Amino acid sequence: MKIPENLHTLKVEAPEPHLWIVRFNRPEVLNALGTKTSEDLRTLFGPLAFTPGDLRCIILTGTGERAFSAGGDLKEREGMTDDAWRLQHAVIEEGAYALLNCAVPVIAAVNGIAYGGGCELALACDFIYAASTARFALPEVTRGIIPGAGGTQNLPRTIGERRAKEMILTGRAFSAQEALAWGMVNAVCEPAELMPRVLEVARTICRNAPIAVRQAKKTIHQGLQTDLTTGLLLEIQAYERPISTEDRREGVRAFNEKRPPEFKGR
């Protein structure tokens, strides 16, 4: 998969085959999310819903040590008309939904504060690793608005309705340790250990059969939106897809030959 060249606020690295590291790249404003950031998210992640190519895993993080993302750029929004605000928010939705619908696994490496839209984009990833110094918040009600990039839906699905109501309705910040205890964060690391730990997890995913990984991700995500019987039907439909692949045959052959498999994504 080729990295787009027309990105303004995201820095994308391909440190090794099948893996991208995507960084919010406005450290001078704590990686605040302006219109350009949402446009870049839409440009980068939009095609990955259906045409991920040879990409197998993505790490999403922030440039610098202070912030994953401080959320929406309120300076940019100063003086906006209602219509301009609505049009801008449509772009924000498109960027967030493109991330949420990415076919390949996306791991959030939260290296600092993740407030507002930054917290929502972390929640849009498949799972989260956080530095011990990270803090989270959905403070929109303190600004006269509400979370609008998936926060009111993804947070209660992650930490439960009552806890999510408390966090969203008060707008208070919470620590990485609290997020870990509530099941929002998978692991908390010392800041210097965060990226090495996430890279280790990403490499493990990249070594697995990519078609099977994508099918499993899709089934988990879609199955949680429905009842158990429908979810089981989705699982069987997804299970059928890898049966006829070379990777399925390679996986069985490698197991019987007692060697690591070499998956090709076909």
What is the structure's pLDDT at 193?
97
CATH class as words, domain 10-206: alpha beta
User: Does the structure show a pLDDT above 80 at 1?
Assistant: no
The answer to whether 200 is a known catalytic residue is no
Contact between residue 213 and residue 56 where contact means Cβ atoms under 8 Å apart: yes
Q: How far apart are CA 29 and CA 64, in angstroms?
A: 11
- Radius of gyration from C-alpha coordinates of the chain: 19
Which pLDDT tens digit goes with each residue over 146-166?
999 999 999 999 999 999 999
**Spatial CB neighbours of 49, under 8 Å, sequence gap ≥ 6:** 98, 101, 102, 103
The residue among 206, 161, 168 whose CA lies nearest residue 57 is 206
Confidence of residue 191 (pLDDT cuts 50, 70, 90): very high
Domain range summary for the chain, segments of one domain joined by +: 10-206, 209-256
Q: Which of 13, 65, 140, 250 is catalytic?
A: 140
CATH class as words, domain 209-256: mainly alpha
The answer to whether 39 is a known catalytic residue is no
Tokens 């690591």 found at: 260
Contact between residue 159 and residue 172 where contact means Cβ atoms under 8 Å apart: no
Confidence of residue 134 (pLDDT cuts 50, 70, 90): very high
Q: How far apart are CA 137 and CA 168, in angstroms?
A: 8
Q: Which of 13, 39, 94, 120 is catalytic?
A: 120
More confident residue, 117 or 1: 117
| Three-class secondary structure of residue 24 per DSSP | strand
User: Does the structure show a pLDDT above 90 at 76?
Assistant: no
